[in-house]
């Protein structure tokens, strides 16, 4: 079924949802976005995603043509118009149409579109068995270059690491920062469990402040687990009892091997399973 797309001011048919080849979002990757889940027709953590979008935009001096309240209503309307039950929203703000040349101020008006569609799920056995990952040689962007907290349209840094993963026949790569500490995966945040303590790198290590990460940290605390944010080395990943990734696309997924080293017993661990289960109950509104 053809989708209804929110384009700038309102909903249009998918066939009419077109943007200019002069949009700097396309010409320079100049823009910001959010990827958001819908569970049972309810938009997951919309407030957190809208807040992060506005912060990303502020950081790159990109004005958004709507208020956070108006944008929230536009997202809800797009979800309703497409009758999305379980799905995925892509909310994109581009610098807009300008002249050739990278001066962003030639763009008179930022562009905005919202896609609400079905989600392509990973095969269930991947979650059961866990995934293998590698350490990428591509270093995560330096925070004084393009801060990884900005969810920008320029994903080449992550894509180069993803290519390394795919070349090694694994689905994900772990990215390290310029100091050698774990930053994040290409589209997910990193967690380990060691002696029942749940550890994740602080945002300053060079990762996106993931919405899923935030939810999982809260759920882990609620379960009475000790939770700490601290710098992790590659060695820490190798010798953790459990290892998992969190993100809008992957949700909570166990990692059972990295760079040929088996993690823990080689199976998805009990804390990962517990947090995954709690995450779903929370996402589907079965637990507050």
Q: What's the half-sphere exposure (Cβ side, CA atoms, 13 Å) at 276?
A: 21
* 8 A C-beta contact, residue 276 and residue 252: yes
Nearer Cβ to ligand PXG (153/258): 153
Task: List the catalytic residue out of 132, 151, 162, 278.
Answer: 151
Radius of gyration of the chain, Cα coordinates, nearest whole angstrom: 19
Q: For residue 48, with 0-12 CB atoms within 10 Å meaning exposed, 13-18 middle and 19 or more buried, which class applies?
A: middle
Contacts of 277 (CB under 8 A, 6+ apart): none
Smallest gap, in angstroms, from Cβ of residue 140 to ligand PXG? 9
Residues that bind ligand PXG (CB under 6 A): 35, 158, 184, 187-189, 207-208, 210-213, 246-249
Cα–Cα dist 236/199, whole Å: 10
Nearer Cβ to ligand PXG (98/207): 207
Phi-psi region of 266 (alpha: psi -120 to 50; beta: other; left: phi over 0): left
Smallest gap, in angstroms, from Cβ of residue 30 to ligand PXG? 17
Nearer Cβ to ligand PXG (213/278): 213
Nearer Cβ to ligand PXG (55/106): 55
Cα–Cα dist 74/34, whole Å: 14
Smallest gap, in angstroms, from Cβ of residue 152 to ligand PXG? 10
Cα–Cα dist 107/104, whole Å: 6
Smallest gap, in angstroms, from Cβ of residue 101 to ligand PXG? 28
286 in active site: no
Which residues are known to be catalytic? 151
């Amino acid at each position: 079924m053809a989708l209804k797309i929110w384009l700038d001011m309102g909903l249009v048919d998918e066939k009419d949802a077109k943007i200019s080849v002069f949009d700097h979002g396309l010409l320079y990757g100049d823009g910001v976005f959010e990827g958001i889940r819908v569970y049972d027709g309810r938009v997951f953590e919309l407030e957190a995603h809208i807040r992060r979008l506005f912060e990303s935009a502020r950081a790159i001096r990109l004005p958004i043509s709507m208020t956070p309240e108006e944008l929230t209503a536009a997202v809800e309307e797009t979800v309703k118009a497409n009758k999305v039950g379980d799905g995925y929203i892509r909310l994109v703000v581009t610098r807009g149409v300008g002249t050739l040349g990278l001066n962003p101020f030639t763009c008179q008006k930022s562009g905005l579109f919202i896609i609400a569609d079905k989600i392509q799920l990973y095969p269930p056995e991947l979650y059961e068995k866990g995934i293998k990952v590698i350490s990428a040689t591509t270093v995560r962007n330096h925070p004084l270059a393009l801060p990884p907290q900005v969810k920008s349209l320029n994903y080449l840094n992550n894509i180069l690491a993803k290519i390394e993963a795919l070349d090694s026949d694994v689905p994900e790569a772990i990215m390290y920062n310029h100091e050698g500490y774990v930053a994040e995966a290409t589209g997910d945040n990193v967690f380990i469990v060691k002696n029942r303590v749940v550890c994740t790198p602080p945002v300053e290590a060079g990762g996106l402040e993931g919405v899923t990460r935030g939810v999982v940290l809260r759920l882990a605390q609620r379960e009475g687990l000790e939770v700490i944010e601290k710098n992790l080395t590659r060695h820490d990943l190798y010798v953790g009892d459990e290892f998992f990734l969190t993100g809008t696309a992957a949700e909570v997924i166990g990692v059972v091997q990295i760079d040929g080293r088996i993690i823990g017993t080689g199976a998805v661990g009990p804390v990962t399973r517990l947090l995954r289960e709690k995450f779903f109950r929370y996402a589907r509104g079965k637990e507050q």
